[in-house]
Structure 1
């Protein structure tokens, strides 16, 4: 695995979080080819924003015989993430794979901003949509500071450019050690319309200027 990027800090000083605990967002790093393959998803329906070329988007398997096709929406750019339980109401920015082969984080200067992997599935589209956000910055708490409060059955929404609101139900909330991050489980393609909400968790390791864990919320389209 590639070496993960350093979190946004001033020198070796970790960002401050209310209550004295320190965290910053950083996604588990994976090699460019693995990440690019595992994040691709969705269908080829007409959309209001272009997805990656068809040759780079992984195929989604059909449901077993006798089972109905999964519920999904056509591709559309997400505009706003709303999680009522933890008071999140944030706009989206596009995220892409950087030169290091890792998904680049949202800009650290805006504490109320989430990013989505714009070359993968859009939220509500068949496949696994990836949404990431900072838990805090060098100056204050950020958009996903309360993400760990979500539980199975909680509801959140994504407002989309096509005027539709995609509603998701939380299936699970888990924390993973970055040294044992389940890439395929988190990023792998799906025959359903699913979302992963990702931020950092665990302790800040000054020796590597990074955090020990990632928090992942697994959810499906209702």
Structure 2
């Protein structure tokens, strides 16, 4: 006679969310990548997380997590990507918990919606190699590993295509786009090479008359505004070559 599923020990299933953002306005020249973290009563920083309820999907859990912990109402087009499954039986001192970690992004203008008393944005810097920590302080559980993995994978994508996580609201100038890529990659980039790499996947912003839209917010000549081409939703395959770096100032 086959055994019932309830005859087997079962772990608790949770979702932890790596929320990446750019804390400074898009017009700033020196941007940095940030992580939205929660502060526990004991002072430790953690990722927003939530247990999966019975008969609930992972996506439903993510949406409820963002509403309950971050006071955010995700749009239908919310881009959430799975990072990995973390199943070390000793990873959580509260018990046997398996976490399905995901990554998403938050636009700068939405940071004001976060509950200020429980959330903060931590800067992320350094090489995102396996086993390394890129947060300014250790996170609880194995959340540092989740963050490092998410940023390492994001950096590979930012070598190939324009703002694949959607950290910058379109339309934007090439300079604004480059500054966001520099924040994610944590390195300065050569402007001309960056522009040549990204332009094939962008289209000019046009007004109602079909004329290119220029910005008046930059110093000097007005700059052309762009957005991602509709046919370039998927990452551009630009080969294994990273974007050339500029010397640090």
TM-score, normalisation: structure 1? 0.27
Identify the structure with bigger relative contact order (alpha carbons < 8 Å, sequence gap 6+): 1
TM-score, normalisation: structure 2? 0.25
Higher helix share: 2
